[in-house]
Amino acid sequence: MKNKFLFILLSLIFNTISFSQINFTRDTTVSVFENSTQLKHAWNGGVNSAQFSEIDLDLDGTNDLIIFDRSGNRISPYLNVNGNFVFSPEYRSSFPKIKSWILLKDYNCDGKNDIFTYSTAGIAVYLNNSTTSLSFVLMDSLLTYPSSAPVDPNIYVSPVDLPAISDIDNDGDLDILTFDINGGFVHYFKNMSMENHYNCDYLEYAHNNGCWGNFYEGLNTYILDCFNCLCPPITIGSSSRYGKHAGSTLIAMDVDGDMDKDLILGDVSYTNLNLLINGGTPQSAHIIMVDTVFPQNITNTIPADIHIFPSAFYVDATNDGTKDLIVTTNMQNNSENKESCWLYENSGTNLNPDFNFIQKNFLQGSGVDLGENAHPTFYDEDGDGLLDLFVGNYGYHSSTGTPISKIAFYKNTGTIQNPEFTLQTDDFLDLSTIPLNTILNRPALNLHPAFGDLNGDLIDDLIIGDNNGKIHLFTGDGTTFNINTPNFDSIDVGYFASPQIIDVNRDGLNDLIIGSKSGKISYFENKGTLTNPDFSAEYIKWGGIDVDSLYISNGFSSPKLIEINGEYHLLTGSYTGKTYLYNNIDGNINGIFSELNTINNTVWEGGKNSVAVSDINNDSLMDIIIGNQSGGLAFFKGDTTTTTQIEEIREYFNVYPNPSSHTIFVKNKKQEEIFIYNILGELVCDTKEEYINIDGFPIGVYVIKKGNKTSQFIKE
């Protein structure tokens, strides 16, 4: 790091750049490199708790893939292009809003996969009615079955389960297997379409039995030959499974080629997949054997073992016409989040598969994936005029059970018009080893960085928010950042502090605004001086903002203050993934802000989103990078479809290269007067040029002022 001067005393301490409109277009073309390799799908948003399904997205007769990530309830489509899967987010808008789980199956036998997904304690179905483009229509908001009760009950599926949807009895229509509400037993719901209508185009189900396969699942233990479901509630090991069902995943498929459906089962209680062999018939299942190290064979002895709560999906991932097995985690939090998509290629047939392990990060390793919860921010680390990218995270999964939180540093190795990012380190300042959590004497979680000068020495400092609501100060010395004060100024916003350094009240002193898990934003007014700040004055629920739409203290606000038409506006992410925009701030700092609805819907990237804002490609339009719960990023460039002027609060005045020996560049499209002063305050240059020759300047530090904005540069 070289000397950079983010906030200068002689100004309003912030820099504004004019942009047009709060509309954005997704851009997946900006290159990102990790370990000398260009990421194929850099901006795919990451993958944590993935569910894979096949569907023809572009209606070309070839199956494509979608990934639904339970972490943030986000769909990521991938087109099959000449046998390769290409991230194609433009198809995301064709899908209805999905929550908890999704399985794509063709229930009406028209060759187009339909949607089975979670509804309140059950299953909703959307018909694929695509003609010229992909589209769906709701067919049944909650599948039910006839009974003697006054109201037909729903086919129960919990939000953490995955049912098996398959033709169990081989009669040509889709049946359903799902666990009992109390766990242990699997219910079989038979589709009556063929029996009642002689075709499959109906969603009519009958409860066939409550103990399909005649088995009972306990805590990673099974009781077989449980005929007629007469097994009593039992205790297995130290815990009773009966009445404590917490989550299971099912997939029904013929593994041994005997034409009946076997069962692949995962459970929240363990890390391995279990294969339950059906020794009965399609009409009368009978589980006779359990393989607890599935899949493995003679040539490949690597069974699925993924932390925690495994789930399996049977799709053609290798584009060879044969379905493969993908094993993922169905757990939303505190699970494997870097290598959680295990691919097993099928070297056999669809009816008699032979699975061979290939990789642990299928389509996951092709994009930026920083574990869980990505918090991006821009900062010119080396003073070359190109904005670098820093991304904090909640953490990577570890075998100890405690996540490892880091900040990744991506250097901008492109140009001012064409940025590209190259990973320099995934652990900036070795923060994963510093015991910022002073109470437990261990590293902090959920590192959220922000840069700015907090001590008036004209050198950037770094503050980091953490999951305990604390702020940690790292003082810049012109070369690096050094830990100064854990729990800076005793600031505590509860949980999940998301800070920004900015002069809120325009008094020349940098203040703090900090988001939190509660959904509120705290404003800490600087009551001190430039060199001795005092943030003891806290305004809680600043602006009346509370993005906790569920009212359960799960808002996860992450504010970013910007200017629009010369007035302050506030952007903030949220738990739901909605990006909120507020105005009516200037002259109303202690009042209630007004919510605007002008951020277009194309920027939704899943839950717990965090936004970085800048003109990254020098086109005078505001661009944004959004981090999400899955630990990934999405890039959106500014759009010129409207004329609203947007001005971004920059965390520095853009002078580059800095330091320089011969020429500096200052963006000045409005031809404003530019004044340059030496360290003694003497005027040494007065110009309107963007490229300024400094050959005749003595070596030293200079202040540069344009309008009401100032910065500094070094002549070397």
Q: Give 575-593 pLDDT, tens digit per residue.
A: 999 999 899 999 999 999 9
Query: CB within 8 A of 59, min separation 6: which ones?
Result: 130, 132, 133, 134
What DSSP state is assigned to residue 196? H
Instruction: Examine residue 698 and say whether the peptide bond preceding it is cis (omega within 30 degrees of 0).
Output: no
Return the pLDDT at 78.
98
Query: Is the backbone of residue 74 left (phi > 0), alpha (psi -120 to 50) or beta?
Result: beta
pLDDT in tens, 230-270: 544 443 333 333 444 568 999 999 999 999 999 999 999 88
How much of the chain is in helix, strand and coil states, percent to nearest 5?
A: 5, 40, 55
Q: Which residues of the chain have pLDDT under 70?
A: 1-22, 220, 227-246, 297-300, 565, 598, 600-602, 641-654, 669-670, 679-680, 708-709
pLDDT of residue 639: 78
CA angle 572, 456, 475 (to 5 degrees): 70
pLDDT for the residue numbered 228: 56
Give the residue from 149, 133, 63 showing the smallest Cα distance to 105: 63
Predicted confidence at residue 190, as pLDDT, reads 98
Please, how many CA atoms are within 13 Å of residue 629, restricted to the half-sphere of its CB?
26
pLDDT score for 298:
58
Q: What is the DSSP letter of 427?
A: S
- Kindly calculate the radius of gyration of the chain based on its CA atoms and give it in whole angstroms: 29
| Residue in the block written with tokens 């169990």 | 168
CB atoms within 10 A of CB 218: 19
Residue 195, H or E segment: helix 193-197
| Separation in Å, CA 398 to CA 49, 447, 565 | 16, 16, 47
The pTM of the full predicted model, rounded to 2 decimals, is 0.86
342 DSSP 8-state letter? E
Give dist(CA 496, CA 235) in Å, integer.
Answer: 39
What is the C-alpha separation between 45 and 626, in angstroms, rounded?
9
Written as six digits, the tokens of 682 are 């003497």
pLDDT at 8: 29
| Beta-sheet pairing, 421-425 with 32-34 | parallel
